[in-house]
Every structure is written in structure tokens, then in C-alpha cells.
Amino acid sequence: MNHKWIATLCVLVSVQCLGWLDSGALGTGYVNTVSADEYEAFTEPYRRISVSSSEMGVITELKVREGDEVKEGQLLAQLEDALLRKTLEVSRAAKDAVGGKTAAEAEVGIREQQVQSYRRLFTQGNATPRELERAENDHRQALARLQSVTEELSVRALEHQRVICQLEQRRIQAPADGVVVSFAKEAGEFVSPTDPVLLQLVQLDRLKAIFSVPLRRVDRLSEGQTVVVRVGGARRAVLGTLEHISPVANAESGTVRVRVVLDNESRDLRSGVVCWLDLEASARSIESKRTRVSDAPLSLSPAVR
């Protein structure tokens, strides 16, 4: 008798559960409504950049905070540069020191006058060929010294520019527009060649999602195609651009990696949220566009009419 009662109770519970699924769960949306033509992924920043320093040294100041939006070229951090600034002053003084060049130019002028004098005397027969040759040699040596001083000043100018470049490299600038999401180091810490990363920068004005699409569906897709992506728990429909289709398939799963880009200029989409590539809705949207184009009235120019 007890066994029959237990069996009857199990049947009643099963019926109640089925009734709840049919009426309540479907109405409240707890049942998975993802169609067979949707493929799941997560939204990601379009670019994730580990901002590093090409120079080693101590961080003296961080110019941004976590969550700040930065523009390309904006100063993010500053490394200690007191020694380089002194080196810059020395190189500037060496570059601007033109006393040696002035003396060399004056000597060239004197030697040139001597050569002209000896040539006149030689023409008049009052100077020997040896004296004229000695004067010409002295003139050539003066020109060589002037050339040497000029080249040295050029090298000093290049050294000055090199120090300026080294100072610029100690100013860590944003390589692209983005948002600062985390810091690897704080002010006062040392940046070394083996650990050069200072912070993480992400580009959020565009998001990307990488889907694994079965081979049988890839043939209907093409790069540059507009597709429908449903984002978040509310499954909000967003138009995206199919940016890349991998030329290599995964042999184990029989799928191909497909990268879709979503415009997020207004920042209303969040990175790291589940999303679905809805190929059925994408196909419908493409067909509707074709229908609208074919159904549009044909306008003829006056010449044709």
C-alpha cells in the first residue's frame, strides 16, 4: 500500500513540475531561449595595451588614475630625469661653444691673404716657388682645421638631440586613445628592463567578440558583413561588423573563429558581458534590406523620360 502511495505522489509531483515549466518558467524567461543558430562569446576591449618604458629608472609621478580616459600622446607617467637634465645643459653649452670655429675661420682668412700676397710676389719675381708652396700648404691646413671644428660642432648638436630624445623616453605617453584599467607599478617603484610594464590601457570605443562558428555556417559569412549580436542578459540586439574570419578551422570542434566588432562610441556596452551571434536575425536583416531596395520605386532622370 505504501509503495502505491509513493508512486502516486511521484506522478503528481512530475505533473506539477511540468505545469510549472509550461506556465511560469516560460513566462518569466528562466528557460534558455537561445536558438540553434546563435553562438555564444564575451565582449572584449578592441585593444588591450600593456604600456611599458623603454628606459629604466624610478617613477617620480603618475599623471593618471584608474578609470581615466586618455588621448594618444597624453603624458601618463614620469621617470626620474635630474641627471639627464644636467647632461642636457652640458650638451647645450658644448653645442653653442663657437669660439674654436671663429678662431679657425680667422686663421683661414689670414692664410688666404698670405697665399694671395705670395702669388703676386712670385709673379713679380720677388718670391720663390718654395715660399709660395709653403703658403698654400698653410692655407690648406687652416681649411682642414676649420672643417674639423665644424664637424665637431655637428657632432655636439647631434649629442644634444640625443639627450633630448632620452628625456622624452622618460616621459611615458599613451600610445593610443583608451581607458586606464590597472597599474602594475606605483610612484617610487623602479622600472627595469625585465619588468617594464607600468599600466594597462584598453580601447573601449569599440568592442570585439570572438565566436566559434560551425563550418557549415561559415560559407554564408563574409568579412565586412553586418551581423546581429545580442548582448547581456536582456539580449539587446546590436549591429556589428564581421571583421575577420579565420582561414584555419579547429579540427576537433569543427568550428572557425569569427571576430565581430561592435561600435561603442557612447560607452553603453560593457566589456566582459556574454553575447550571442544571431545568424538567423542577421540573415533576416540582410534579406529585408534587399527587399527594401528591390521594392523601392525606380526614379528616372528627365533625359530618360
What average pLDDT does this structure show over 146-163? 94
pLDDT at position 260 over 50: yes
What average pLDDT does this structure show over 242-256? 92
pLDDT at residue 294 in the model? 40
Only one residue has cell 572557425, namely 256
- 119 and 182 belong to one structural domain: no
- 57 and 165 belong to one structural domain: no
* Residue 231 in domain: no
* Residue 133 in domain: yes
Select the more confidently predicted residue: 37 or 141. Answer: 141
d(CA 195, CA 200): 14
* Residue 258 in domain: no
- 142 and 180 belong to one structural domain: no
Q: pLDDT category, 298, cuts 50, 70, 90?
A: very low
* Residues 46, 206 contacting (CB under 8 angstroms): yes
Average pLDDT of the chain to the nearest whole number: 83
Of 151, 169, 187, which residue constitutes the final position of a domain?
169
pLDDT at residue 300 in the model? 38
**27-31, 193-197, 211-215, 236-240 — which is least confidently predicted?**
27-31
* Residue 93 in domain: yes
- At 283 the three-state DSSP class reads helix
Helices and strands, number each (H, E), in the chain: 7, 13
Q: pLDDT category, 127, cuts 50, 70, 90?
A: confident
pLDDT at residue 283 in the model? 64
C-alpha cell read off for 289:
534590406
pLDDT at position 120 over 70: yes
Select the more confidently predicted residue: 46 or 20. Answer: 46
- Which domain does 72 fall in, by range? 47-80+170-199
* Residue 52 in domain: yes
* Residue 290 in domain: no
- 122 and 177 belong to one structural domain: no
- 96 and 128 belong to one structural domain: yes
- 189 and 126 belong to one structural domain: no
- At 232 the three-state DSSP class reads coil
- 140 and 71 belong to one structural domain: no
pLDDT at residue 284 in the model? 66
* Sequence-ordered list of residues with C-beta below 8 angstroms from that of 114, at least 6 positions apart, any chain: 135, 138, 139
Give the whole-number percent of the chain exceeding pLDDT 90.
67
pLDDT at residue 29 in the model? 36
- 119 and 90 belong to one structural domain: yes
- 76 and 178 belong to one structural domain: yes
What average pLDDT does this structure show over 72-93? 94
- 174 and 107 belong to one structural domain: no
Q: pLDDT category, 91, cuts 50, 70, 90?
A: very high
* Residue 68 in domain: yes
- 91 and 155 belong to one structural domain: yes
**22-26, 137-141, 187-191, 279-283 — which is least confidently predicted?**
22-26
Report the CATH number at residue 180. 2.40.50.100
pLDDT at residue 285 in the model? 58
d(CA 101, CA 192): 42
- 140 and 90 belong to one structural domain: yes
Of 169, 185, 220, which residue constitutes the final position of a domain?
169
* Residue 191 in domain: yes
Of 152, 169, 186, which residue constitutes the final position of a domain?
169
* Residues 111, 120 contacting (CB under 8 angstroms): no
pLDDT at residue 76 in the model? 95
d(CA 185, CA 52): 11
- Number of domains the chain contains: 2
